[in-house]
Structure 1
Amino acid sequence: METVAAVVVTFNRLNDLKICIDTLRAQTRKLDVIYVINNGSTDGTDEWLATQPDLTVTTQANLGGAGGFATGIQTAYNGGSTWLWCMDDDCVAAPDALQKLLESPNLGPCIKNSMSVSAKDHSELAFYVDRPNRTYRTVSDMTQFDLIYGVASFFNGTLIHSEVVKTVGTPDVKLFIWGDEVEYMTRTIKNGFPVVTVPASIFYHPPSFDRNGIPWPGAWKQYYAVRNQRRVFQNVHGDAYGMAVFAKWALGQTMEQARTKRTNRLYNFLIFGEAAIDSLINNFRKRPDNILTLRLYKYMHK
């Protein structure tokens, strides 16, 4: 009999976590186990989790989304679950979200993703998807299909078969955040497993935003989005050509920051450049406190 484990990664969003867990408990297809990976939260999450006997909890240092899902996926895989249903703590699952995923067409070992709908506007997707031949921005763009191949919003209702984990492994801890989920998706596709969105299965999530427009000092996250993109290009194009594609892309993106008249344009330019250089020299060790542009910004804004 197939078993399903939920994997929830959380960091300092206790109120969101409580809502997320409530929606998992209310699923029409009951979960066999709920794993919660607490990435070193300091907002009372530890204390609340200790009072929830139906949750299996792992507490670790903050290793970012990549480290959280790496731990959670490995833990659920080691536990013998057939399917691993992965999500951030700010996800809200429709009551039949899991049931709809499991009832969708059988593709064998694969990854099936719920449709991520904006929590603020239920007619829009939480994450816009632009493909060469089609753009998905509204719910109606997706609901006309039973399955949408090659499109998925990791890790927001992402159902992973254990055979995928056996072959592909877990997210790369070194990527930390922003881009680790795309790298895992492209690595899965590279290994020949189908990746699809199932529009009948609905997850609600806060809508995405223009990452380039994040106010400083929060824009340090863009460092990881740029740095980690190299791995995505290499999964898609191969190591050598992927590196060349990344170098061209990173140069264009960095120069765009210099040309675009935004507040803190200098810092945007510097952090894009720092991320590109670190990626090209294979420096994936930096955590936020080690990002030179962020340190410069904090020094200049004491």
Structure 2
Amino acid sequence: MSPTRRDDFFVVVTTYNRQEYLAQLFDSLALLKPAPDGIVVVDNASTDDTPAVVAAAASRFASLPVPIPVIHHRLQENTGGSGGFSVGVERALAEGAQWLWLMDDDVTAVPGAIAAFGPWMDKYDALVGRRYDSLGEPFFWQNNFSTFLGFPLPVAGDVFATSNEFATNVGCFEGMLLHANAIRSVGLPDPRFFLNWDDTMYGWQISLERPVMYVNAFVLHKAREQRSIDLGIRHLNDSSDLSRFYVMRNRGLVGQYLRVHGRYNAFGFALGTILTAGKEIFRLIGVEKTLRGSARLWDGWRESRRILADSSWKPMPSLVGKS
């Protein structure tokens, strides 16, 4: 790849107690051609052998003909995916990263992924590549965020029918590629989300200033199998009680970000909250075949009201002007 805007390419991984998946991810990163310039692993206080897996990878990558630093950033407590990516992005920027490829620990990279991103890296600052599911089938990810509802709506049909790029206004931390310029403009990912909505809102904030492009290039495989159903216009995966709590609790943060940008509509947002709860109940019934866990939705909604009522709430600060 030419060196224009493609130098200092870092992979940023957030992990928690998934040592086997993390080892598979490292195996795939070792096959990337071209290779990244650095790897930052944020360890969310894992209690398994994650530190040993990272240490082995660091030794492996250091012995390559062109050594690649593997930076193990271990946290003292589990801050969730949101906190992990916030810290990971900050650390990668401090290490000199210009491009940051964000991913969870339960994916593997396609060997030619960095080169596949190449055609768009000279044009855009925020990219989301395509993914395969655990069975090797294309994973559906195409939606646009409705500011009226505060809710992402799936886009039906083939968004790549006439072009290899699709302008969206959401992000996905499972494979989103960001230039440092975009990050500095909106600030670090918000750790207050812990789980859910963090990447959606981060991509939305970026889209207010510059394009966010979903591109027709497969860059990741989902390694972890999940129960799911195909709804035609999207796939719906299984979840957890923790995720159910945060998907409702973080409606408060979504509403606050909409307010900051002058896009909050009380009626529309309430409707979007109902849609969110309805989607999660449908997930419980349709995918997990139970209603156990629905109480966590109620708990999360009550917490969201407290967040939404906080008149002192502030968004994450911009990093423009900071070294």
TMscore range, shorter length: 0.7 to 0.9
Deviations 1:50-78 (A, max 9, x none): 23234111000210000110011011111
SS of 2:43 mapped into structure 1: strand
Runs of 5+ consecutive residues of structure 1 not aligned to the other structure:
285-302
Aligned to 1:164: 182
The one of 221, 224, 246 equivalent to 1:224 is 246
Question: How many residue pairs get matched?
Answer: 275
Equivalences for residues 253-264 of structure 1 within 5 A: 254=277, 262=285
Measured after TM superposition, the shift of residue 161 of structure 1 is 0.3
Q: Distance in 2 between matches of 1:259 and 1:155?
A: 24
SS of 1:114 mapped into structure 2: strand
Contact 2:10 2:101 in 1 (8 A): yes
Aligned to 2:296: 271
Aligned to 1:44: 49
Measured after TM superposition, the shift of residue 267 of structure 1 is 4.7
Code of the aligned partner of 1:159: L
Measured after TM superposition, the shift of residue 273 of structure 1 is 2.5
Q: Distance in 2 between matches of 1:150 and 1:90?
A: 24
1:89 aligns with 2:89: no
Q: CA RMSD in A?
A: 3.3
Runs of 5+ consecutive residues of structure 2 not aligned to the other structure:
62-69, 145-151, 230-234, 310-323
Aligned to 1:65: 81
Measured after TM superposition, the shift of residue 259 of structure 1 is 10
Code of the aligned partner of 2:211: P
Aligned to 2:194: 176
Aligned to 2:139: 125
Identity score, percent:
22
Q: Distance in 1 between matches of 2:41 and 2:96?
A: 16
Per the normalisation by structure 2, the TM-score is 0.73
SS of 1:19 mapped into structure 2: helix
Deviations 1:14-53 (A, max 9, x none): 1111111121121111111111111111121112222323
Q: Distance in 2 between matches of 1:67 and 1:249?
A: 25
Aligned to 2:273: 250
Q: Distance in 1 between matches of 2:54 and 2:249?
A: 34
Greater share of residues in helix = 1
Aligned to 2:14: 9
Contact 1:143 1:200 in 2 (8 A): no
SS of 1:281 mapped into structure 2: helix
Code of the aligned partner of 1:92: T
Per the normalisation by structure 1, the TM-score is 0.78
Cα 1:261–1:156, aligned 2, differ >3 Å: closer, same or farther? closer
Deviations 1:134-188 (A, max 9, x none): 425xxx7647631111066611221110011111111111110111111211121
Cα 1:273–1:75, aligned 2, differ >3 Å: closer, same or farther? same
The one of 121, 135, 143 equivalent to 2:156 is 135
Measured after TM superposition, the shift of residue 282 of structure 1 is 0.7
Aligned to 1:287: none
SS of 1:104 mapped into structure 2: helix
Code of the aligned partner of 1:145: S
